[in-house]
């Protein structure tokens, strides 16, 4: 007899989140799919399944998050896998980005992830079983002009995930950080990537970066969302999954560049680094 697993997925109405929901339902998994607009999700899926529980949730509101998590557990009895997928980008310079714009990005990409994780963990700890999959990005490893704020949120996800993995391992829980490159979804659309309201003309490079991401890259991303979603699911089901997983040849290229940059910088400054110890 097949035992269905239960997956809790945030940001489920579009992109990788939606593709994950589709593939999981095809294999008769239970899916608690949460989004700001569950009707949009149901319309996109266009299916009626007893394995699907679509819920509205405000990821920035702990009360809303706790309600959705409890409703999901009451409906299916458990949560085996949490996929923290919700997030969006802001493409703009550090000086251009207002305090409220930065706060809003962190509220969803970081604090929202924390709200959901904290809500799910007590149930997983009680069961001594569960896997948390956090959608980061290769830009959680390396930052570039115009993406400083978004990258900062993903750097935070990387650090939180690394620490969480060590904290929950004694309970039999697992943590996976997914680090994709560019994926051919609607992520670069106005719904998922915004620009600061007050741009600064002096930053001509940033103007070109925005133009490139609005017009040149969309539709040409190398990452296949179907393959990405399938790989995330297969990785989550491994008995011993990796803590970090890069997805895409571009992700590998960026990550290797960062490793080389770090190694070179460490070696070049090694003498200075060692000179600050107490002399014994």
CA-to-CA dists, residue 120 to 114, 158, 238, angstroms: 10, 19, 20
- Of the residues 5, 137, 150, 195, which is catalytic? 150
Radius of gyration of the chain (CA): 20
Q: Which two tokens stand for residue 138?
A: 């290769």
Q: What is the DSSP letter of 174?
A: E
- Of the residues 5, 13, 97, 154, which is catalytic? 154
Q: Is 150 one of the annotated active-site residues of the chain?
A: yes
Per DSSP, the chain holds a count of helices (H) and strands (E) of 10, 9
How far apart are alpha carbons 126 and 83 in whole angstroms? Answer: 19
Closest listed residue to residue 173, CA positions, set 217, 219, 229, 117:
117
For residue 193, list its beta bridge partners.
89
- Of the residues 5, 13, 97, 136, which is catalytic? 136
- CB contact at 8 A, 134 and 81: no
Secondary structure element (H or E) that encloses residue 254, with its range: helix 249-268
Backbone angles phi, psi at 37, to 5 degrees: -140, 95
Q: Is 88 one of the annotated active-site residues of the chain?
A: no
Closest listed residue to residue 37, CA positions, set 66, 59, 8, 69:
59
Which region holds residue 194: left if phi is over 0, alpha if psi is between -120 and 50, else beta? beta
> What residues are annotated to the active site?
136, 150, 154
């Amino acid at each position: 007899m097949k035992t269905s697993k239960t997956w809790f997925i945030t940001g489920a109405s579009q992109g990788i989140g939606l593709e994950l929901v589709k593939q999981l339902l095809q294999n008769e998994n239970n899916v608690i799919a949460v989004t700001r607009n569950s009707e949009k999700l149901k319309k996109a899926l266009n299916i009626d399944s007893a394995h699907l529980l679509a819920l509205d949730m405000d990821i920035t509101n702990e009360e809303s998050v706790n309600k959705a998590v409890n409703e999901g557990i009451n409906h299916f009895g458990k949560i085996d896998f949490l996929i923290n997928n919700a997030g969006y980008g802001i493409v703009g310079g550090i000086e251009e980005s207002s305090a409220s714009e930065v706060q809003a990005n962190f509220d969803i990409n970081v604090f929202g992830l924390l709200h959901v994780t904290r809500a799910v963990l007590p149930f997983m700890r009680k069961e001594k079983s569960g896997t948390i999959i956090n959608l980061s990005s290769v830009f959680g490893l390396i930052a570039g002009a115009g993406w400083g704020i978004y990258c900062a949120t993903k750097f935070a996800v990387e650090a939180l995930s690394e620490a969480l993995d060590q904290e929950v391992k004694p309970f039999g829980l697992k943590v996976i950080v997914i680090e994709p490159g560019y994926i051919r979804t609607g992520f670069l659309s106005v719904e998922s990537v915004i620009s600061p309201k007050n741009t600064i003309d002096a930053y001509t490079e940033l103007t070109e970066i925005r133009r490139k991401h609005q017009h040149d890259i969309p539709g040409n991303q190398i990452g296949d969302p179907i393959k990405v979603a399938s790989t995330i699911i297969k990785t989550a089901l491994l008995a011993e999954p990796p803590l970090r997983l890069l997805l895409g040849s571009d992700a590998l290229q960026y990550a290797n560049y960062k490793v080389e940059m770090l190694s070179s910088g460490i070696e070049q400054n090694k003498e200075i680094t060692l000179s600050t110890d107490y002399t014994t």
